[in-house]
Structure 1
């Protein structure tokens, strides 16, 4: 399962890339605005940093507007994947863009049938928003499993990108379910490293090593 960072912060992206575990980035105008950056410039900077798929979102909700924005975004850098909202006009745009060789990520997916339609149109990725499903009393990961099954049944090339991840348990469930990608904020990625037994084991090792060093120094 690939790990994407959901951010527009360059320092976070550099850290994840330096660890060797970040494969791509998802971002949007809201995240970029928090960085006080020019949208197009920041997208290019992210692409050059991660050297992997970078999802950048369109603002338009009509077919012509989405296609025009998507073409502009795709021309910024070969790594750009255009995020398109799950709308009839959006699916129409995805079909056109896929025929043009432009990669797309259909966002705001909340049902397996929405994902099915996006895959039929040729989407590169579909993004089920599991955290938001949990917020309204549903189990978001359930739809991920159903989407994975549907895509396997019909051998769609579309990848399942689990989004709206709130905690490490979501990441574990995504991996167990067979999702292709999970996109997460840095705070969740950092928590994936941690376990109290690891800390205890490291502390014990260092104490034992110090005792050994002290013993050797006295010889």
Structure 2
């Protein structure tokens, strides 16, 4: 049995891509997208026709609506291949605007429904800012499931659990990147591999906390840099993996067993945490890595949204 098939025994495998033509090869349950992945896809010959068709069909509509219709078009194509859910992201430029995020999430669901796709198959992806978490809380109360992304800290995870969001996406690889860059020449890769990887440690802590206290929010590790990070999180609720790493797993026959264990988490001695807005902002501020990576991630997704706007205007 290859490692991909072995992993599927313990964890729901999700494909992290805008390239839906690759999905059938790996048979993931769900798929995730983001503005950067969609931007990359529509610049290829395979997917540019989708961009052209969407712009032509909705010419004269506001740019933000055309953008959402393009995202939904990709999502619908993905859902014709995967049996589960797709995550579709709210424009990162709205990361600090609760009202606008709620409105955009509701519109995305309405556009999917117009395509005959049930809301139960969609996760509205929102940045894990305080404002984003509040927006997700309201969307959940309206029966719209959310995926809280750009999550780098325990405080963000606790706040998401308290808001009863459907799913969180802690970013393993970006956490790893920050610690490696900060350590510089002092970094010893072997000492920070597997369970000792800082990104893996972060997700493990969150998973154990959620399972210990019976928090139903799903944990989906994301943003992987290598297969070792994935295998060290086998047993996590979900893992969203790029096509390149899915391919590596599918071509590897080394043994793989579950690492994370909900029963063991139940038995652990953990303290229940809670954050109001001031406490959340202070805890995030105290975590230099999370503060920097959250800001950097929002800037990068917002920049790609601007590039996507320009492509839509240029057709």
Give the 4+ runs in structure 1 shifted more than 6 A.
Answer: none
Aligned partner of residue 155 in structure 1, secondary structure:
coil
Unaligned runs of 5+ in 2: 1-10, 43-50, 52-69, 181-197, 255-315
- Is residue 12 of structure 1 aligned with residue 44 of structure 2? no
Q: Give a deviation string over 1:195-217, Cα, whole Å, max 9, x none.
A: 488xxxxxxxxxxxxxxxxxxxx
Match for residue 36 of structure 2?
30
Q: In structure 1, what is the Cα distance between the partners aligned to 2:212 and 2:86?
A: 28
Cα distance change of structure 1 residues 48 and 110 upon mapping to structure 2, 3 Å threshold: same
Cα distance change of structure 1 residues 195 and 48 upon mapping to structure 2, 3 Å threshold: closer
Structure 1 length normalisation: TM-score? 0.83
Task: Give the greater-gyration-radius structure (CA).
Answer: 1
Q: In structure 1, what is the Cα distance between the partners aligned to 2:103 and 2:149?
A: 18
Aligned partner of residue 223 in structure 2, secondary structure:
coil
- Is residue 2 of structure 1 aligned with residue 12 of structure 2? yes
Aligned partner of residue 225 in structure 2, secondary structure:
coil
Q: How many pairs are equivalent?
A: 192
Where do residues 57-206 of structure 1 align in structure 2 (5 Å cutoff)? 57-59=89-91, 60-61=94-95, 62-75=97-110, 76=112, 77-78=117-118, 79-137=121-179, 139-175=198-234, 178-195=235-252
Aligned partner of residue 215 in structure 2, secondary structure:
coil
Structure 1 or 2: larger strand share? 1
Unaligned runs of 5+ in 1: 198-219
Structure 2 length normalisation: TM-score? 0.58
Q: Which moved more, 1:117-126 or 1:31-40?
A: 31-40
Match for residue 40 of structure 1?
72
